[in-house]
Amino acid sequence: MTDSEYTPPEIEAKWQKRWENDHLYKVTEDSPRPKWYEMTMFPYTSGALHIGHWYAMAPSDVHARFRRMQGYNVMHPMGFDAFGLPAENAAIKNKIHPFTWTMQNVENMRRQLKSIGACYDWDRELVSCLPEYYQWTQFLFLKLYHAGLAYRGTAPVNWCPHCQTVLANEQVLNDGHCERCDATVIKKDLEQWFFRITNYADEMLDFSKVQWPERIKTMQTNWIGKSQGTEIRFGMEASDDKEIRVFTTRPDTIFGVTFMVLAPEHPLVGKLTTPEHRKEVEDYITASRHRSEIERLSTTKEKDGVFIGAYAINKLNGERVPIWIADYVLLSYGTGAVMGVPAHDERDFAFAKKYQIPIKTVIAPHGWKGEELTEAYIEPGTMVNSGQFDGIPNKQGIEEVNDFIESKDYGQRKTTYRLRDWLISRQRYWGTPIPMVYCPECGVVPVPEEDLPVLLPEDAEFKPTGESPLKYCESFVNTTCPRCGGKAKRETDTMDTFMCSNWYYMRYTSPGCDTVPFDPAKMKYWMPVDQYTGGAEHAVMHLFYSRFFTKALRDVGLIDFDEPFIRLFNQGTIVYQKHKMSKSRGNVITPEEYVSVLGADTVRAYLMFIGPWSQGGEWSDTGINGISRWLNRVWNLVAGEEPAFHDKGDPSAILELQRITHRTIKKAYQDLDSFHFNTMLAALMEFSNYLGNVRDSKAIDRKSWQEAITTLLLLMAPSTPHLAEELWERTGHPYSIHQQLFPSWDEKLLVNKQVTMVIQVNGKLRDKLTVDASIAEADAKQLALEQERVKNYIEGKEIVKIIFVPGRLVNIVAR
RNA sequence: GCCGGGGUGGCGGAAUUGGCAGACGCGACGGACUUAAAAUCCGUUGGGAGUUUAUCCCUUGUGGGUUCGAGUCCCACCCUCGGCACCA
């Protein structure tokens, strides 16, 4: 009887091989079906997939398979995010070349991915570290460069004084120390490559063309940080030719300015500092440069600063205002200078208290009688001590002060953004080389498109010096100028790996294309992505950069759509032993140990069953047994001993079987459509449990039974593709179940003639009756009042009213 | 501090959006099968009272409120998990 045993490893291997040989999931652009492009974020080539990867990929595959069964021409591609720092660290540690390390991982991960049994079109696979891919990353960089969207500028970067190199943010530990040598990381100004993402700040606030979770849209909106305010010019007491510009959202408090603060790096600091304060100021600047970013940005740190000896003039009231520097003011935001209004700003209040700077109230709280404020008052109020603006509500005052300032040319309304341009330079080997050349004669010269790719040299040396191996690779650095032909040097920085993921979803449309990054006709057919799934941790990184990049490529003229991903769904995180899985914590679940015994279908279904996909969940070693048992029960139900059939079938039993079958179809359809996989599986379990009872009842004819079983298999096909395919074959259906349409339901069959009516007295359940679903209100009420149990509760009481909810309940209100 | 998700049995989680709280599954307990164990199958399983049959009371983080009726709506608070955090 081995033939009737469920042996997942055997049947899974069998079907995976067959699907691959038949190219069952290959998609082309000439299908009569409507297209559907569904993808999940490609994995980083860290070495092996753990169950967390499966948690992202398996349900996404289920959804893609569901769309196939709905009749779409579904493209569901897979690839590898293959550039990045871990490969370089592995090179240093294990003396293995990053390319070798990465490609070994790709091979291992591809093998693992194939075991999921997903409907990936493997012909479209891409690996971002291969020249056939990254030459186009370079190509697109050049397009942005020529459009003025890529530029070279100076930026403060993380600098480790011990390793003598720049560090990426992720290489700086939380306490501000270098991850490699533990020295304190400081900021240093270096020439870097940037993308003008700020050009798109306003357009990126517009989410009208996407259906994304509110959460992600809010995070991106906050990240852009658009702020409407006023830029105001303050004169200098000592010199007429200098002025300080400040940015404020509270011009209504301009009469309350009692000091001014510049960022320590502000260019005017050196010029304005008086000789007697110079030493103190320089010491402060040096100290703040050595403070780590974390320390400097800590909101709990007490605000400190030093007076530079100079005074500015508030043009609105002619008052002289002492100028300080303090590192809570950031050079990168606004103008790098703020006006200090201690009465109406918490930070300014704390600063003024510490240094005994006067606090002048200019916005009166309701019922204020001139008493000193004990804390900053930031609520609305009436303007006081503000000259001609006295008595005006401050909200209105903002506009009136703005009008006045603009009429006098003291400043103007201005919008600022928290968003900064995207710094894409990385001082590393294992990334896409930036295709630029430095020529002593011609300056910065882009590599011509026909000379791409600029290949990574294979013979670079990896030493733990903390510096980019490219910089010391003579064969790479020394080149000729594309313009004058003279001796020149290559750019040795490589691109941020987020550059690879900026456009990989476009490349999937045109695998192997070697004349352009993507084929316009294929792009027109597939793009944009209809459904993207992945973790929310990329909200202001990959998901943000890709929106920018899409808009930039549109403006360069390469594409004609505005948004890369129409619909976005974020799955939650799977945890084990209450923690996120990670190698360092040692709580990683490897899929193989379960796949090889229980099967991929069981693992897929269990991951879907843990809880709502959007919420994540905890892996349970015993919980998965429930799914395994269920799939065995389904197997026995379908492939086990044939049940004893009734000749014609009991009509009421058949009707009920139909009702439950169609109810299950509807539930499965709607749950799959909305990513509610856990409740879908619960419904399928109920259905199969019910079928088990039906089988034992002997009240059903052969045909009705076979219909129900066929439906069950079709409903299970997206979730457990191998099991469904095997049983599909065993029940005599032609190959393949994965080319069938999802069953549809008939609303008429869902209606139950008999329902359970709940009877309540004062809202408490007192009885239940089985009645006709169509029972009339009067009949229901009378029936309720006649029940013995009900009588006990209403005896001697006055019936105030009776609530009737058709087909559901009667509630008797008695006092 | 601000923004967002969440708090329901021993555990993971359901609940047609205001109408039978605890679907489905795990675990546990009891039974069948077995020489035995595993697997499988059948029962029981929120807490309490009770003549352990009938029946009743309590129960969705806490405290109030609205309603015939609240896990679901409103107000206040507590806890928890994410994200942002001196943005002037």
ipTM of this predicted structure: 0.94
User: Sign of the CA dihedral A325, A328, A333, A334?
Assistant: negative
| Beta-strand relationship, A478-480 and A487-490 | antiparallel
Residue A346, token pair as written in the block: 């918490």
Distances in whole angstroms, Cα of residue A66 to Cα of each of A63, A117, A735, A736: 5, 14, 17, 15
Residue A764: CB less than 7 A from any atom in strand B? yes
Three-class secondary structure of residue A574 per DSSP = strand
Residues A749-757 have a mean pLDDT of 85
What does the alpha-carbon distance between residue A722 and residue A725 come to, in Å, rounded to a whole number? 5
Residues A722-729 have a mean pLDDT of 97
Residue A2 has pLDDT above 50, yes or no: no
What does the alpha-carbon distance between residue A807 and residue A791 come to, in Å, rounded to a whole number? 22
Residue A1 has pLDDT above 50, yes or no: no
- The pLDDT of residue A643: 84
Residue A160 has pLDDT above 80, yes or no: no
Three-class secondary structure of residue A66 per DSSP = helix
- The pLDDT of residue A479: 96
| Amino acid of residue A261 | V
Residue A297's nearest nucleotide, by CA–C1', is B86
CA A177 to chain centre: 28
Angstrom distance, A5 CA to B38 C1': 17
Residue A330, token pair as written in the block: 């950031």
How many DSSP H helices and E strands does chain A contain?
26, 30
> Is the CB of residue A345 less than 8 Å from the CB of residue A339?
no
| Amino acid of residue A719 | S
Residue A177: CB less than 7 A from any atom in strand B? no
What does the alpha-carbon distance between residue A705 and residue A697 come to, in Å, rounded to a whole number? 12
Residue A345: CB less than 7 A from any atom in strand B? yes
- The pLDDT of residue A716: 98
Tens digit of pLDDT for each residue in A246-286?
Answer: 999 999 999 999 999 999 989 999 999 999 999 999 999 98
What does the alpha-carbon distance between residue A769 and residue A756 come to, in Å, rounded to a whole number? 6
What does the alpha-carbon distance between residue A643 and residue A658 come to, in Å, rounded to a whole number? 18
A426 CB contacts (<8 Å, ≥6 apart)? Answer: A168, A493, A494, A495, A496, A497
Residue A791: CB less than 7 A from any atom in strand B? no
Question: What is chain A's mean pLDDT, rounded?
Answer: 91
Residue A576 has pLDDT above 70, yes or no: yes
- The pLDDT of residue A577: 79
Q: What angle do helix axes A600-609 and A677-697 make, rounded to 10 degrees?
A: 110
**Reported confidence tier of residue A292, pLDDT bands at 50, 70, 90:** low
Residue A201 has pLDDT above 90, yes or no: yes
What would you measure as the largest C-alpha separation in chain A, in angstroms?
109
Residue A291's nearest nucleotide, by CA–C1', is B86
Q: Provide Rg for chain A, Cα atoms.
A: 34
> Is the CB of residue A172 less than 8 Å from the CB of residue A159?
no
Complete DSSP assignment for A543-573: HHHHHHHHHHHHHHTS---S-SEEEEEEE--
Distances in whole angstroms, Cα of residue A148 to Cα of each of A145, A390, A656: 5, 48, 68
Query: Nearest Cα to A117, choosing from A31, A210, A54?
Result: A54
> Is the CB of residue A477 less than 8 Å from the CB of residue A459?
no
Residues A80-97 have a mean pLDDT of 88
Residues A717-734 have a mean pLDDT of 97
Residue A330: CB less than 7 A from any atom in strand B? yes
pLDDT above 70 as % of chain A = 95
What does the alpha-carbon distance between residue A373 and residue A394 come to, in Å, rounded to a whole number? 18
Residues A426-436 have a mean pLDDT of 93
Residues A652-667 have a mean pLDDT of 94
Q: For A555-666, list the strands marked E by DSSP.
A: 565-571, 574-576, 579-580, 617-618
Per-residue H/E/C for A356-392: CCCCCCCEECCCCCCCCCCCCCCCCCEECCCHHHCCC
Query: Nearest Cα to A325, choosing from A278, A364, A368, A359?
Result: A278
C-alpha angle A546/A192/A417, rounded to 5°? 55
Nucleic acid strand B: bases within 7 A of protein CB: 3-6, 11-16, 19-21, 23-27, 39-42, 55-57, 68-70, 82-88
- The pLDDT of residue A605: 96
Residue A338: CB less than 7 A from any atom in strand B? yes
Residue A686: CB less than 7 A from any atom in strand B? yes
CA A264 to chain centre: 35
CA A461 to chain centre: 36
Strand B contacts in A 580-599 (CB under 7 A): 580
Residue A494 φ/ψ, nearest 5 degrees: -115, 170
- The pLDDT of residue A126: 97
- The pLDDT of residue A372: 86
**Reported confidence tier of residue A5, pLDDT bands at 50, 70, 90:** confident
Angstrom distance, A621 CA to B33 C1': 27
Residue A610: CB less than 7 A from any atom in strand B? yes
pTM over 0.90: yes
Residue A670 has pLDDT above 90, yes or no: yes
Tens digit of pLDDT for each residue in A482-534?
Answer: 999 999 999 999 999 999 999 999 999 999 999 999 999 999 999 999 999 99
What does the alpha-carbon distance between residue A263 and residue A334 come to, in Å, rounded to a whole number? 11
- The pLDDT of residue A282: 94
3-state helix, strand, coil in chain A (%, to 5): 40, 20, 40
> Can you tell me which residue has the tokens 């609303």?
A747
Classify residue A172 by its DSSP letter: B
Residue A198 has pLDDT above 80, yes or no: yes
Residue A625: CB less than 7 A from any atom in strand B? yes
**Reported confidence tier of residue A578, pLDDT bands at 50, 70, 90:** confident
Residues A380-386 have a mean pLDDT of 93
Residues A668-697 have a mean pLDDT of 94
Q: Which residue is nearest to nucleotide B69 (CA to C1')?
A: A763
Residue A161 φ/ψ, nearest 5 degrees: -65, -25
A190-226 b/e (C-beta count within 10 Å ≥ 16 → b): bebbbbbbbbbbeebeebeebebeeebeebbeebbee
Residue A748: CB less than 7 A from any atom in strand B? no
Residue A653 has pLDDT above 80, yes or no: yes
Residue A813: CB less than 7 A from any atom in strand B? yes
Strand B contacts in A 228-267 (CB under 7 A): 229, 247-250, 263
Residue A582 has pLDDT above 80, yes or no: no
- The pLDDT of residue A370: 85
What does the alpha-carbon distance between residue A518 and residue A509 come to, in Å, rounded to a whole number? 7
Residues A728-741 have a mean pLDDT of 96
Residue A646: CB less than 7 A from any atom in strand B? no
**Reported confidence tier of residue A648, pLDDT bands at 50, 70, 90:** confident
Residue A96: CB less than 7 A from any atom in strand B? no
